Amino acid sequence: MQWEVEVYEDEQGHCPVEEFLDLLPDKHLGKVLQVVQMLEDRGPNLPFPFSSQVEGKLRELRAHYGNVHYRILYYSDVHRVFVLLHGFEKRAERIPEREKKIAVERMKEDAQQKEKLHEKKKK
């Protein structure tokens, strides 16, 4: 079964994860996209070291190229779609709080946008 993966889009139409990926060197991008493909293929069964729990519904995709470590924070919405929220280069042992905060805010915004869309469809 193929799982659906989408990227968070803000109300202005910006996709921060796509913008992050566009800045990566090609070989690094290839490694990150391999892990995204694994998420599509394996869904919630994607094991560590490729995916791990961060806090609450927030999870991280883990990729690296050489000594450069990348993280994409994501969650599964109410429709069982994985939403990629925030990408960054990890430079410390723990995920910095500011990176988590960005992802949590986007997760809330994404859920609100989907709720509004659902309400419009019901009318």
Q: Mind listing the pLDDT tens digit for each residue in 20-57?
A: 999 999 999 999 999 999 999 999 999 999 999 999 99
Task: State the pLDDT at residue 122.
Answer: 66
**What are the residues facing 70 on neighbouring strands?**
63, 89
**pLDDT exceeds cutoff 70 at 123:** no
- End-to-end Cα distance, the chain: 32
Residue with the larger pLDDT of the pair 10 and 78: 10
Query: Where does residue 66 fall: left (phi above 0), alpha (psi -120 to 50 degrees), or beta otherwise?
Result: left
Sheet bearing 5-7, strands edge to edge: 5-7, 82-90, 68-76, 58-65, 51-55
Query: 64 lies in which domain range?
Result: 5-122
Task: State the pLDDT at residue 17.
Answer: 98
Task: State the pLDDT at residue 21.
Answer: 98
Count of domains forming the chain? 1
Q: Is beta strand 82-90 parallel, antiparallel or unpaired with respect to 5-7?
A: parallel
Reported as a pLDDT band with limits 50, 70 and 90, residue 2 is confident
Task: State the pLDDT at residue 119.
Answer: 72
Q: Summarize pLDDT for 57-109 with one digit per residue, the tens.
A: 999 999 999 999 999 999 998 788 999 999 999 999 999 999 999 999 999 99
Residues 6+ apart with CB under 8 A from 53: 59
The full DSSP string for 30-76 is: HHHHHHHHHHHHHGGGPPTTTEEEEETTEEEEEEEETTEEEEEEEEE
Task: State the pLDDT at residue 64.
Answer: 95
